[in-house]
Amino acid sequence: MNIHPGNCTSTDGKQVCPYKEKCYRRNPIHFTEMSHPHLEKLVMDQLDGTITVPPRLDFECSDRSTLLDQLKILQMVLRKERDRNDEIGTGQTSIEDKRNSIRNIPQFTNSIPQDLKDKIDRNKKIAVERREAKLREMDKRAISLSKPSTSDSSDLTMATDSKSLIKDDVSNETWSKLADRIKKQKLESRNEMTSTLGLKRNSEHFDQDSESSKRFKNHQAIENRSNKVGGQAGGASTSNGNSQLGDQEPDLMTAYAGSTTSALRNEMRLKVIEKIRSSGIKMSIVEPGEFALKYALSAPYHLFFTRVEDCKETHDQQFSLTFPEILDRSLGEIVSSLQINFMLDAGWLCAQYLLAGQSSDMLILYGEREDQEKLPPNIKTIHIKMPTFGCHHSKLMVFKYRNNGIRVVVSTANLYSDDWENRTQGVWISPHLPRLPDSANTSDGESPTGFKKDFERYLQKYNLPDLTEWVQAIRKADFSDVKVFFVASVPGNHKDAEHNAWGHRKLSTILSQHVTLPPNAPEWPIIAQCSSIGSLGPNYESWLSKEIIPAMCREKNQGLKSHPRFQFIYPSINNYKNSFDMRKGACCLPYGLTTHQKQQWLESYLYQWKASNTRRDRAIPHIKTYTRISPDQTEIPWFVLTSANLSKAAWGHKRGNHYIMSYEAGIIFVPKLVTGNTVFNIKRETPDGTPRFPIPYDVPLTRYEAQDKPFVMEFFKGYE
Q: What angle do CA 354, 360, 364 make, to 5 degrees?
A: 125
The Cα 82–Cα 287 span in angstroms is: 18
- Same domain, yes or no: 95 and 122: no
- Same domain, yes or no: 424 and 491: no
Q: What is the pLDDT of residue 254?
A: 73
Q: Is 165 a member of any domain?
A: no
Say what angle helices 451-460 and 468-475 make with each other, to 10 degrees.
170
Q: Is 1 a member of any domain?
A: no
Residue 170 backbone zone (phi > 0: left; psi -120 to 50: alpha; other: beta): beta
- Structural domain count, the chain: 4
Q: What is the pLDDT of residue 233?
A: 35
Q: Which residues of the chain have pLDDT under 70?
A: 1-13, 26-29, 83-253, 279-284, 560
Which of 36, 60, 273, 248 minimizes the C-alpha distance to 155? 248
pLDDT tens, position by position, 393-432: 999 999 999 999 999 999 999 999 999 999 999 999 999 9
Residue 624 annotated in ligand binding: yes
- Same domain, yes or no: 510 and 565: yes
Active site amino acids: 393, 622
The Cα 464–Cα 236 span in angstroms is: 8
How many helices (DSSP H) and strands (DSSP E) are in the chain?
Answer: 21, 27
The Cα 81–Cα 95 span in angstroms is: 9
Q: What is the pLDDT of residue 281?
A: 63
- Same domain, yes or no: 120 and 240: no
* Distance separating the N- and C-terminal Cα atoms of the chain: 63
Q: What is the pLDDT of residue 265?
A: 84
Q: Is 84 a member of any domain?
A: yes
- Same domain, yes or no: 376 and 499: no
Q: What is the pLDDT of residue 18?
A: 77
Residue 228 annotated in ligand binding: no
- Same domain, yes or no: 484 and 587: yes
pLDDT tens, position by position, 496-511: 999 999 999 999 999 9
Which of 169, 176, 162 minimizes the C-alpha distance to 216? 176
- Same domain, yes or no: 260 and 125: no
Q: Is 465 a member of any domain?
A: no
Query: Do residues 37 and 102 lie in contact, with contact meaning Cβ atoms separated by under 8 Å?
Result: yes
Q: Is 273 a member of any domain?
A: yes
What is the sign of the dihedral through the CA atoms of 383, 389, 393 and 394?
negative
- Same domain, yes or no: 101 and 246: no
3-class DSSP assignment, residue 218: helix
Q: Is 694 a member of any domain?
A: yes
Q: Is 25 a member of any domain?
A: yes
Q: For residue 631, give every residue at least 6 positions away whose Cβ sits within 8 Å of its Cβ, in sequence order, or none.
A: 520, 523, 524
Query: Do residues 102 and 40 lie in contact, with contact meaning Cβ atoms separated by under 8 Å?
Result: yes
Query: Do residues 10 and 1 lie in contact, with contact meaning Cβ atoms separated by under 8 Å?
Result: yes
- Same domain, yes or no: 293 and 418: yes
3-class DSSP assignment, residue 666: strand
Q: What is the pLDDT of residue 488?
A: 98
- Same domain, yes or no: 245 and 319: yes
Q: Is 454 a member of any domain?
A: no
Q: Name the residue range of residue 670's domain.
A: 478-717
Q: What is the pLDDT of residue 487?
A: 98
Query: Do residues 33 and 25 lie in contact, with contact meaning Cβ atoms separated by under 8 Å?
Result: no
Q: What is the pLDDT of residue 576?
A: 96
CATH number, domain with residue 228: 3.30.870.10
- Same domain, yes or no: 382 and 394: yes
- Same domain, yes or no: 58 and 121: no
